[in-house]
Homo-oligomer: A and B are copies of this chain.
Amino acid sequence: MSVLMEIAIFPTDVGESKSRYVAEALKIIEESGYPYQLTPMATIVEAETVEELTALIPKLARKIEEMGAKRIYSVVKFDIRPGRKNRLRGKIESVERALREGPDGQRS
């Protein structure tokens, strides 16, 4: 199974900049060992199971709370697809292939 989790998590009570908090959250994701990609709006992590990914969420929240946040917001999206692998790269390749084939091309 391949599960992609896209997560944005940040304090909403501490001024405009959030990069200090995102950086600390990113270290926890890095240490987890799962492949990930940082985007301008979130971090995308890939694992074999939903459990592995949801276990990250409380760790990220606790870290941001320890840094002094009194209110934390998070948006998380999951794309779960049994029987697939390496979708952190594979999904973008599928779209690129569809762009070459056009709207009537075979699905992939």
Contact = CB atoms under 8 A, between A and B. Distances in A.
29 contacts: A12-B18, A13-B14, A15-B107, A17-B94, A19-B97, A20-B98, A20-B105, A23-B103, A27-B99, A38-B95, A39-B39, A40-B87, A40-B91, A40-B92, A41-B77, A49-B58, A50-B61, A51-B58, A54-B54, A54-B57, A54-B58, A67-B103, A70-B83, A71-B79, A71-B81, A73-B78, A74-B80, A75-B76, A76-B78
A19 B108 contact: yes
Is the contact region of chain A dominated by helix, strand, or loop, or is it mixed? mixed
Given A19-B107, A79-B73, A37 B39 contact: yes
Contacts of A13: 14-16
Interface residues of A, number: 66
Given A20-B103, A54-B54, A74-B77, 10 more contacts: A15-B107, A17-B94, A17-B108, A37-B40, A39-B39, A39-B92, A50-B57, A50-B58, A54-B55, A67-B103
